[in-house]
Structures are given as C-alpha cells and as structure tokens.
Amino acid sequence: MKHVRETRTLTLDYDTETGHRMINQYVVDSELGRGVFGSVKLAHDVYSRANVAIKIVQREAPRKLGVPYTPRQTDERVVREIRAMSLCLHPNVVQLFEVIDDPMSRKLFLITEYMQGGELVWRDELEQPTLSLTDARRVFRDILHGLNALHENGIIHRDLKPANILWTRDRTMAKISDFGSAYVRMTPSSVDELSSATDPVLARTAGSPAFFAPELCYGASDGPPITKAIDVWALGVTLYCMLFGHVPFDAETEYLLLECIVHDDYAVPTCMCCDRVIVGPRAPRWAPLYPNSQDLCGSGSGNTYSKSAGTDSRNESTKPAETNRSHSLSNEAHAVRHLLDALLDKDPATRMTLDRAMTHPWLVAVSW
C-alpha cells in the first residue's frame, strides 16, 4: 500500500465557512450516490483544494442467522476492495488515495479519485448505443489495459461491466472501478496460474449474472475451473453492450439466463454504435436451447432478467436477420466480429487472452 495513505484517527466536524460536514481535512460538498454497501460523497481537501470521492462503508457485514458474529470485524468485501485498489496503480484503474480506519468507528472512509465524467453511458432509453465506434474502441482499449494491470497484480475483478467503468472529466480516459467482488491474491503476483481447482474461493459466485462467463453458470463441480478468463468474457460482453446497446444474452429468469449463456450463440445486429456502422446481420450460428421460447430466452428479447429493457423498442434495423451478408462488410466490421467471437468463446481454455487482445487488428490499425 505504498501509494495509499493509512489514517487511524477520524475527526468529524463542520466547515466554518459553508457549514458542511468535514471528515478529517475533507469538506463534504454533495452526495454522489448511495447503495446497499454505503454512500459516496463528493468532497474537497481543504489544503490542496482537490476534489475527491469519499466512499463511506459500514465496517461490519450485515449480521446473518447462524453465522458467528465478531464485533468490529471488517467486512470481507471491504477488505477485498481496499486491498485490490492498494495493489494496482494504473492510469486506467480508479485510484485509492487514503483509507481512514479509526478502530473506534463503525465506518471506514475510502478517499478515492473523483471521476467527474461519471459512469459510462453506453445506451439511451430506447436501448440504442450512444457511443461512436471510435469512442467504443477507445474505451475498450482503456479497460483492456486496466484489466491487464489488475491481472498482473494478482487481482481478478469478477464484476466488470459498463456500470463499473467511469470517465475522467473530459471523457478522454475510462477507468475501472468497484472492487467489492474482486478476488485478490494474498501475495502480489500474476493470476496466470490461479484456478478454482487450487483455490475454491474463486468458485464463489460474484458479479452480475448477465456478465457471467459460461463456466460460472455450472454447478460447483460440473464445469471447467474458474480462472482469470471470466474477466475476459465480461470484457467481451461489455464490448457487445457498447456496440449494440444491449447484452448478448437475456432471459426472464436467472436460471434461463444462465442456460442461455452456456448453450446459446449470440446474434450480431445490422449496425453498431451511434454512427450505425454496418456489421451484420448475423443470426445465431446454432439452434437455441429453447427453439420455441424466444420470449423466454435469447439475445434481444424484451422483458428479461438481465433488465436490458422493459419492452423491445430497438429499431428493426438493429435486430438480427436470418441472413448473413458478411461478404459485403468492411474490414473493420470483420475485425470487430472476430474480436467478439474470440472474447465470447464459451471454452475458457481457447478464449482470447488479454495479451492477444491488445495486439488485435481492430485496436492497432492506424485507420480503416
């Protein structure tokens, strides 16, 4: 934690000029968000005047019936988040500056980089993609490099998705955030050899079902071992979201969603991104598990478990057709489709690695 300051004393006060609450030397200006695990405040340092985000979390996990209770024991989720952010210092990972951990307080305060650009907006209310193809490529490249840095430092994110990608103020850089579900290796080293076969902790379900890799959808002992490849799959789903404005797999229930992820192919719509670059259509390449239940399971269905939409309001031109006109596509469209197929490979053993993704033609080509 060399780049993270640890403070063991908490002082709560009020700023004499504004009357706003103070947490040590930070004046709270407003609330950025609130969730199950705590709240996030916008604040500024009275000395440097720099804006920061303060994540305020309960030290103790919610008490559960039958689970031993240890007063003042820090929640495992909070420990993981602090450790993950402390291990990785990278331009494409949200930075943790300070942890205020007063033993007498029931709360911990994580002082982090303030991402003024906010959460990545990847679709509008009609489920149309909002990013241009150039911006989608830039965001994908940023997240790819950030994810690679996490893996090199012994961290598997386990909850990569657009909601956990934040913009800088000028929206020229994207960064990975939210490490509450992360797996963090106890000794700082690469996750290359990590597997649920040697560490059962990796087999614990974490993250958002619509971004689950197929190997996470099996029973505890039925599927392939869980490795860093689950982050690669989630990266592929995130790319699909940015390109098309919806997830590749959805269903009415979690059970059906997991079945679709394991067994079904995804469709490629006609156009990608807000500049509507032709990339398809390509129908699923094999029959779905539930061929007569398109309303229950399948890419682009309406009122679904993955919450991609309440009704299917996407433009007809973005829906997959039953024809394949790949012979008339541009080289860039072919490159995007190849990248998606490689990232969304259902077999983790043959799924594209991050190293290979960083040298993929779609990312390294000067122009198309």
User: Domains in the chain, start-ordered, CATH in brackets?
Assistant: 5-61+73-113 (3.30.200.20), 118-284+329-365 (1.10.510.10)
Question: The pTM is what?
Answer: 0.87
Write out the two tokens for 261: 């992820």
Write out the two tokens for 251: 């269903």
Percent over 70 (pLDDT), the chain: 85
Pairing relationship of beta strands 21-23 and 96-100 according to DSSP bridges: unpaired
CB–CB of 166/40 below 8 Å? no
Which range (59-63, 106-110, 184-188, 326-330) has the least confidence? 59-63
CB–CB of 298/260 below 8 Å? yes
pLDDT at 301: 41
Which residue in the list 101, 135, 159, 264 is annotated as catalytic?
Answer: 159
Which range (65-79, 156-170, 219-233) has the least confidence? 65-79
Is 274's pLDDT higher than 80? yes
| pLDDT range class, residue 220, cuts 50, 70, 90 | low
- Rounded Cα distance between 162 and 230, Å, is 16
Is 311's pLDDT higher than 60? no
Give backbone dihedrals phi and psi of 38, rounded to 5 degrees, phi first: 145, -160
Residue 196 Cα to chain centre, angstroms: 21
Is 235's pLDDT higher than 70? yes
Task: Give the three-class secondary structure for 46.
Answer: coil
| pLDDT range class, residue 262, cuts 50, 70, 90 | very high
Query: Is the backbone peptide bond immediately before 348 cis, with ω within 30 degrees of 0?
Result: no
Establish whether 159 is a catalytic residue.
yes
Is 346 annotated to bind a ligand? Reply is no
CB–CB of 203/226 below 8 Å? yes
| Residue-averaged pLDDT of the chain | 87
pLDDT at 60: 79
Which residues, other chains included, contact 207 with Cβ-Cβ below 8 Å and sequence gap of 6+?
158, 159, 160, 161, 181, 216, 234
pLDDT at 218: 87
- Rounded Cα distance between 171 and 152, Å, is 26
171 versus 297: which is more confidently predicted?
Answer: 171
Stretch 70-90: mean pLDDT: 82
CB–CB of 27/88 below 8 Å? no
E-assigned strand segments in the chain? 5-7, 12-14, 21-23, 26-35, 38-45, 51-58, 96-100, 107-113, 118-119, 155-156, 165-167, 174-176, 183-184, 271-272, 277-278
pLDDT at 192: 84
Residue 44 Cα to chain centre, angstroms: 27
Is 334's pLDDT higher than 50? yes
Is 194's pLDDT higher than 90? no
Which range (19-23, 100-104, 313-317, 341-345) has the least confidence? 313-317
Is 35's pLDDT higher than 50? yes
pLDDT at 96: 97
